[in-house]
Amino acid sequence: MMGLAWAWKASWWTVAAIGQVLPFPFQVVVLATLLALVAEDARTNRKHACFDKDLDAEALAETCRNETMETNGRRGVVVYASQRGTAEQLAQTLVQHASENNVVLEMVDAKTTDPEELPRCEFVFFVASTYTDGKPPDGTQWFFDWMAEAVDDFRVGKGFFNRTRFAVFGCGNSLYEENYNRVAKQLDRNMENLGGIRMMRLGKGDEDKGMMHADFSKWSTILMQRLQNPQEGIQWDPDSPTDSSASLGDNSSSEGDTSNSDVDIEDLAGRMPRGKREAGVSDKRESQEKPEMVHPVMRQKLTKQGYRIIGTHSGVKLCRWTKAMLRGRGGCYKHTFYGIESHRCMEATPSLACANKCVFCWRHHTNPVGKEWKWQMDDADLIVNQAVSEHVKMIKQMRGVPGVQKVRLEEGMQPRHCALSLVGEPIMYPQISKLVKELHKQRISTFLVTNAQFPDAIKNLAPVTQLYVSIDAATRDTLKAVDRPLFKDFWERFLECLRLLNVKKQRTVYRLTLIAGWNMEDVKNYASLIDIGKPDFIEIKGVTFCGDSGANSLTMKNVPYHKDVCEYSRAICDLRDQEYQLACEHEHSCCVLLARKDRFYRDGRWHTWIDYDKFQDLVASGEEFDSTDYMLPTPSWAVFGAKEAGFDPQETRFRKIRRHRNSEAKL
């Protein structure tokens, strides 16, 4: 330390000596340099003092505090750790709320925040999300590791934050049980163990209740009241039994009219199903009425994404392929593989909730999650009728759009197909069989997709036109990493769903989404899963990159090329001794269809297309039938290896013009 100081002094003398022999303008520059060196020396000495092991913890904290409180003029910071942006939004709200109360707070990201700087602030507030497996958001692990390790580091000391007042709000989901708000809980303990003065009990926002923002608003309101009298701290053990029973006013008189209330922290942070509990109202009374699945914030987000919300838990959206075929610009892969009319396909779901949080989900995880149906339930007839009505309204909005064909527009107003794969897990809906039957009554075919977590629902499901099971991984560990399921017994549920698929008489499909770097190394294990369900078809598709939602770490590097998908598909066929063969492809969607040769290769050609009228007649008859009773020949342009690569020659191929920066040079 002394050597460093002498080095700085020597540099000052050198600069001063040089300045004496220089003209006036250069002397000014030299003087400015000298002053900068003096300031840097003072800052450096104080910084090193913060790490001097001879200083006790209180002196260390005081040394660090004096510097920053003098230089930056702020009273405190709000540190956020966010994966999808929720914690960041809440942190911004807290900063604005504080400003309205004449309290200056600076918002900082845990990714770039040095924990050793925090003791310099009078107030430190945290808004922290808990992500997969109870871990903090991407890029923030080091921050929370430092806080945890500092507790047992004698060089830091138990009084590191003994002049800092803090509060923690966590963003989590109670469906993850033991990992619920795990990051925030641990951070709260660590701050207390490092001597921090708690201003508020730990706030625990619960995404599952759908009241995250409302809970935070109430929590932050009381926090602002406490800031009016910051000398009153609240000491509390986050693991104590008083977590859900003690009132906020027990240890503080700084809250005005809230000091004698019965409102507790769980009320403020996620235990209120509807966010309307008044003081003295019991949990039992509130729990008698089930909540709506789609709360206002979620409804706003989904509506912004183009969804039409139906009732309290369903939705419908116009697919981009529907729009494309209305304009004669080609159909989706289902048109190529199975002969649907894409402009007459309705994409819908009776359940916006899901039991997984897949890393490749293009819905950006704005939908709820759940392991059972715990919300209000709308009748199946209402859902079907409103879905068709909303779909027709969206089709009508295409009138006048350049390229839309009049005949197809009229046909589009009479949907013939329903893809029950829009978002969420449709099979969770308790009346799913009734809904399917209602669609069939209107002669609308059904393509239902499930994530293989509800075996009982599959067992009791009424016949559908085609039943899909998403097989996103071939091993327990990979499935957990890719699908991030809620159920602890997710693997057992997964396997049981595959077994039940084998006894279904209608068309069944394994659907695999390939993600480079995640699940493309398990070809052998995946091939072995075929023995369990013995599906009619296997769809293998490359993941689609839908931008960075913050909810996953996928990039364009994780998107395989069509040739990669083809190679993977060939490997599956080889491992199955050509029991399955490449039947169709849709290059635009980076998708390949494998089909069972013993069932769907007849008279020298593939029969993957569906006779939809015959299917509806078979369903209406009530007689037993199987997947081979309503098949049709596959057209030559749809067969794998055809020059059209799955693009219908009756359509007009439309290629977007990419306008890059150097396009002017080509003119």
What's the pLDDT band for 526 if we cut at 50, 70, 90? very high
With 0-12 / 13-18 / 19 or more C-beta atoms within 10 angstroms meaning exposed / middle / buried, residue 360 is buried
Distances (CA, A) of 174 to 219, 241, 372, 480, 620: 18, 18, 13, 18, 44
Confirm if 526 and 512 have CB atoms less than 8 A apart.
Answer: yes
Find the largest Cα–Cα distance for the chain. Answer: 107
pLDDT at residue 71 in the model? 29
522-529 long-range Cβ contacts below 8 angstroms, 24+ apart: 522/473, 522/474, 522/475, 522/478, 523/568, 523/571, 523/572, 523/575, 524/575, 525/474, 525/475, 526/471, 526/474, 526/572, 527/571, 527/572, 527/575, 527/576, 528/474, 529/471, 529/474, 529/498
Q: How confident is residue 67, by pLDDT bands cut at 50, 70 and 90?
A: very low
**Dist. CA 146–CA 129, nearest whole Å:** 17
Residue 594 · residue 580 · CB < 8 Å:
yes
Residues pairing with 347 in the sheet: 317, 419
How far is it, in rounded angstroms, from Cα 138 to Cα 123?
25
Is the model more confident about 364 or about 582? 582
- For residue 390, CA distances in Å to 22, 223, 309, 395, 640 come to 81, 44, 9, 9, 36
In whole angstroms, what is the distance from residue 329 CA to residue 626 CA? 34
pLDDT at 348 exceeding the cut of 70 = yes
Task: Give the confidence band of 593 by pLDDT, cuts at 50, 70, 90.
Answer: very high
- pLDDT at position 294 is 86
Query: What is the Cα–Cα distance from 578 to 606, expressed in whole angstroms?
Result: 14
Q: What is the pLDDT of residues 479-505, one digit of tens each?
A: 888 888 888 899 999 999 999 999 999
Residue whose tokens read 């209608």: 506
Written as one string, the DSSP assignment of 39-53 is HHHHHHHHHHHHT-T
List the Cα angle 313/314/315 in 5-degree steps: 135
Q: Are strands 609-610 and 631-632 parallel, antiparallel or unpaired?
A: antiparallel
Token couple for 79: 């540190």
Q: What is the mean pLDDT of residues 611-636?
A: 97
Residue 181 has pLDDT above 60, yes or no: yes
Chain segment 414-436, per-residue pLDDT in tens: 999 999 987 789 999 999 999 99
- Which pLDDT band, with edges at 50, 70 and 90, does 522 fall under? confident
pLDDT over 60 (residue 53): no
Range of lowest pLDDT (235-249, 507-521, 583-597): 235-249
Beta pairing, strands 345-349 & 417-420:
parallel
The secondary structure element, H or E, covering residue 540 is: strand 537-542
pTM of the model: 0.65
Sorting pLDDT into bands at 50, 70 and 90, what band is 5? very low
Whole-angstrom distance, CA of residue 530 vs CA of residue 418 = 27
Strand partners, 512: 540
Q: Give 436-462 pLDDT, tens digit per residue.
A: 999 999 999 999 999 999 999 999 999
What is the number of helices (H) and of strands (E) in the chain?
A: 22, 20
Terminal CA-CA length for the chain:
65
Burial class (CB in 10 A: 0-12, 13-18, 19+), 235: exposed
pLDDT band at 367 (very low <50, low <70, confident <90, very high): low
Mean pLDDT over residues 519-531, rounded?
A: 89
3-state secondary structure at position 126: strand
Query: Which of 97-106, 295-304, 414-423, 638-647 is predicted most confidently?
Result: 638-647
Spell 529-560 as b/e; 16+ CB within 10 A means b. Answer: bbebbebbbbbbbbbeeeeebbbbebeeebbb
What's the confidence (pLDDT) of residue 343? 97
Going by pLDDT thresholds of 50, 70 and 90, the confidence category of residue 611 is: very high
